[in-house]
């Protein structure tokens, strides 16, 4: 049985937190809110708890998890060879949506790092998450609280839909603020490298580190054939992402929708407010993510909109890109992964 307990997002009841922490210390699984998405927590130093975590999510053991901490003292306990840049980033952006990859200390179980010599660490900025990790007294492994490959949860209801009966407790503190996962930065390379763009914009990192490398899925070579990339953050429907901007993007969005309709697809569209007039007359299901200029709003609505649109039954979702500035990079990454790499450029002919 999975219990769902409501907690105040700012001032969680200490008794509820104490009980959740005890479940974690005993090797159980507790889903809790962070500022990015809901995480599924397990004792990050307990291999048995970690094994349960991977099992509950259906996550392959080759995919390492992030360990969540509440104070800077935990950093040298879990990581080694910490460069000055790591301390600077931690002091500047923690608690917050930034994950640092560093060489691991031997205390970190191989299961947490998928056998890698590095560990990923983050201090989340949510009072419930911080209170829970503090009460547990151990680093908490917390990947997103969804079945592996599904869309990440931004509400307790989403967690329940994926993990009911598979985990012990869900702490419900309402919808999450950022809506996409943390930015993962690898500091073990000669040039700091964003492995996964996320809630902390690249620009904020570069203001401190200078130029960083980014693994950009849209320019990582020719778009692979459908099914070539492992799907992640994915809806049930097939998805295609259209990259581009302005009038060209809108024109191509409309053309593509019409083409898919002619091919007999039930078409869903993930679009910006500004795109609405261009497709309003088409028999498609539409989810509006927000204004092109409001990337925070688009990021926050991305996963819930994907779920809602998917539930309306389209067999193909056509999504538009929001560029690479600020949170745009994370939004693009999640769209491309949800689409399993099916990307089209607005300047290409369909």
Q: Which does 278 bind (CB under 5 to 8 A by kind): ligand AMP, Mg ion, none?
A: none
Q: How many residues does the chain have?
A: 350
Shortest CB 146 distance to ligand AMP, Å: 9
List CB contacts of 2: < 8 A, sequence separation 6 or more. Answer: 160, 163, 164, 165, 166, 167, 168, 169, 170
Residues in contact with ligand AMP, shown as a per-residue x/- string from 184 to 223 under the rule CB under 6 A = x-x--------xx---------------------------
Of the candidate residues 23, 24, 69, 119, the single one contacting ligand AMP (CB under 6 A): 119
Interface stretch with ligand AMP, choices 80-88, 118-126, 223-231, 332-340 (CB under 6 A): 118-126
Task: Report the C-alpha gap between 41 and 53 in whole angstroms.
Answer: 8
The residue from 5, 116, 209, 288 that contacts ligand AMP (CB under 6 A) is 116
Least distance from ligand AMP to the Cβ atom of residue 184, Å: 5
The rounded distance, in Å, linking the Cα atoms of 297 and 248 is 23
Among 144, 155, 176, 324, binds ligand AMP (CB under 6 A): 144
Q: Least distance to ligand AMP from the beta carbon of 120, Å? A: 3
Sequence-separated (6 or more) residues with CB below 8 Å from residue 92 = 208
176 binds ligand AMP (CB under 6 A): no
Burial of 110 (0-12, 13-18, 19+ CB in 10 A): middle
The partner in contact with residue 120, picked from ligand AMP, Mg ion, none with C-beta cut-offs of 5 to 8 angstroms by kind, is: ligand AMP
Residue numbers at the binding site for ligand AMP (CB under 6 A): 63-66, 101, 113, 116, 118-120, 143-144, 181, 184, 186, 195-196
């Amino acid at each position: 049985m999975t219990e769902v307990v409501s907690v105040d997002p700012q001032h969680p009841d200490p008794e509820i937190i104490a009980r959740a922490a005890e479940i974690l210390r005993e090797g159980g699984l507790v889903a809790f809110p962070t500022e990015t998405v809901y995480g599924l927590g397990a004792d990050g130093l307990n291999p048995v708890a970690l094994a349960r975590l991977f099992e509950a999510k259906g996550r392959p053991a080759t995919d390492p998890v992030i360990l969540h901490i509440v104070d800077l003292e935990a950093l040298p306990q879990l990581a080694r060879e910490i460069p000055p840049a790591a301390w600077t980033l931690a002091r500047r952006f923690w608690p917050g949506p930034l994950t640092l990859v560093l060489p691991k200390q031997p205390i970190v179980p191989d299961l947490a790092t998928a056998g890698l010599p590095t560990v990923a660490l983050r201090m989340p900025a949510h009072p419930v998450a911080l209170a829970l990790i503090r009460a547990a007294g151990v680093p908490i492994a917390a990947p997103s609280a969804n079945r592996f490959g599904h869309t990440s949860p931004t509400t307790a209801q989403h967690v329940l839909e994926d993990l009911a009966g598979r985990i012990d407790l869900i702490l419900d503190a309402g919808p999450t603020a950022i809506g996409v996962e943390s930015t993962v930065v690898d500091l073990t390379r000669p040039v700091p490298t964003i492995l996964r763009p996320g809630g902390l914009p690249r620009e904020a990192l570069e203001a401190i580190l200078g130029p960083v490398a980014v693994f950009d899925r849209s320019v990582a070579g020719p778009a692979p054939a459908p099914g070539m990339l492992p799907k992640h953050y994915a809806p049930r429907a097939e998805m295609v992402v259209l990259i581009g901007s302005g009038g060209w993007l809108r024109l191509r969005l409309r053309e593509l929708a019409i083409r898919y309709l002619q091919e007999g697809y039930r078409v869903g569209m993930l679009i910006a407010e500004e795109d609405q007039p261009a497709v309003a007359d088409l028999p498609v299901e539409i989810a509006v993510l927000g204004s092109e200029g409001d990337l925070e709003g688009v990021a926050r609505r991305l996963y819930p909109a994907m779920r809602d649109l998917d539930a309306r039954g389209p067999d193909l979702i056509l999504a538009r890109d929001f560029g690479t500035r600020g949170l745009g990079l994370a939004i693009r990454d999640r769209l491309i992964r949800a689409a399993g790499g099916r990307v089209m450029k607005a300047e290409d002919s369909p």
